[in-house]
C-alpha cells in the first residue's frame, strides 16, 4: 500500500500597500512572507480608489484558480466596502480567494467567507444609519425653524419686473429676501440687454 499523497497547499500571493512613500512596508512584507506568500507585490499609493494601482491590477489580471491573495488587513486592499467587494468578485471569477493575516478573512473557508459577508452587512447598516440620522437632523432643524434646505433659485425676471414697476433695489431686496447686490446684478443685465427702465430709483 503506497503512501497517501499530501495535498500541495495553494500558492499565496501577498500584497503590501502604504498610502505614501514615507511609510514603511517592511512589517507587512515580513508578515506576508511568514504567512507563506512566495511572492509579495508592493506599492505605495492611496487605497481610496482601485485606479492607479498597477501592482494590484497585475495580481487580479494574472492570479490563477486555487491561488489566494493575502494582505495583512483588508484596508490595505481597499478603503471602501464597494471596492473590496469588486476585488472579491474579480477573484471569484478567477477561482481565487482572499485572506488576511490579522483578521479572520479567508474566502476559501465557510467561516472566513461568512465573516467577509458580515462586514458587508455592517457596512450597509452603517450607511443606512447615517442616512437615518441625517434625515432625523433635518426634521429636528425644520421643527426649530433653522433648516432652510438648498437656497432657492433666484427669479431674475421677477426682480426685473419689480424694477420696471419702479421699486427701488432696497425695497426689492427686502421684499424678496435677497441681497441688494443681486438686484443690481439683475438691473445691470437689463441695461446690458438694451432695456432701460424709466422711473427706476437706486
Q: What is the pLDDT of residue 125?
A: 60
Rounded Cα–Cα distance for residues 16 and 116 (Å): 20
Contact (CB, 8 A) for 16 and 29: yes
- Give this prediction's pTM: 0.57
Rounded to a whole number of angstroms, the CA Rg of the chain reads 31
Predicted confidence at residue 4, as pLDDT, reads 46
Exactly one of 10, 19, 46, 179 is catalytic; name it.
Answer: 19
Tell me the pLDDT of the chain (202 aa) as tens digits.
454 444 455 599 999 999 888 889 999 999 999 999 999 999 998 888 888 899 999 999 999 999 999 999 988 988 777 888 889 889 999 999 999 999 888 999 988 888 777 776 666 666 667 777 777 777 777 777 765 666 566 777 888 787 777 788 888 888 888 888 888 888 777 776 544 344 444 4
DSSP state of 152: P
CATH architecture for residues 12-120: 3-Layer(aba) Sandwich (3.40)
The predicted pLDDT at position 139 comes to 74
19 is an active site residue? yes
CATH number of 156-192: 1.10.10
DSSP strand pairing (68-71 vs 39-44): unpaired
- As given in the structure block, the three cell numbers for residue 173 are 431686496
Q: What pLDDT does residue 38 have?
A: 92
The alpha carbon of 19 is separated from its chain's Cα centroid by a whole number of angstroms, namely: 16
Tell me the domain boundaries of the chain. 12-120, 156-192
Amino acid at each position: 500500500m503506497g503512501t497517501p499523497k499530501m495535498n500541495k497547499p495553494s500558492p499565496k500571493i501577498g500584497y503590501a500597500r502604504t498610502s505614501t512613500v514615507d511609510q514603511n512596508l517592511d512589517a507587512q512584507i515580513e508578515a506576508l512572507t511568514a504567512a507563506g506568500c512566495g511572492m509579495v507585490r508592493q506599492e505605495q499609493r492611496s487605497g481610496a480608489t482601485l485606479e492607479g494601482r498597477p501592482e494590484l491590477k497585475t495580481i487580479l489580471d494574472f492570479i490563477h484558480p486555487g491561488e489566494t491573495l493575502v494582505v495583512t488587513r483588508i484596508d490595505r486592499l481597499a478603503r471602501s466596502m464597494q471596492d473590496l467587494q469588486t476585488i472579491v468578485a474579480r477573484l471569484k471569477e478567477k477561482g481565487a480567494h482572499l485572506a488576511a493575516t490579522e483578521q479572520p478573512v479567508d474566502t476559501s473557508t465557510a467561516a472566513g467567507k461568512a465573516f467577509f459577508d458580515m462586514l458587508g452587512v455592517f457596512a450597509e447598516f452603517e450607511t443606512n444609519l447615517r442616512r437615518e440620522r441625517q434625515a432625523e437632523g433635518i426634521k429636528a432643524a425644520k421643527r426649530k425653524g433653522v433648516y432652510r434646505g438648498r437656497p432657492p433659485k433666484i427669479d431674475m425676471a421677477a426682480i426685473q419686473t419689480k424694477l420696471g414697476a419702479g421699486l427701488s433695489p432696497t425695497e426689492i431686496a427686502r421684499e424678496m429676501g435677497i441681497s441688494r447686490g443681486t438686484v443690481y446684478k439683475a438691473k445691470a443685465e437689463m441695461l446690458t440687454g438694451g432695456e432701460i427702465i424709466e422711473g427706476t430709483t437706486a
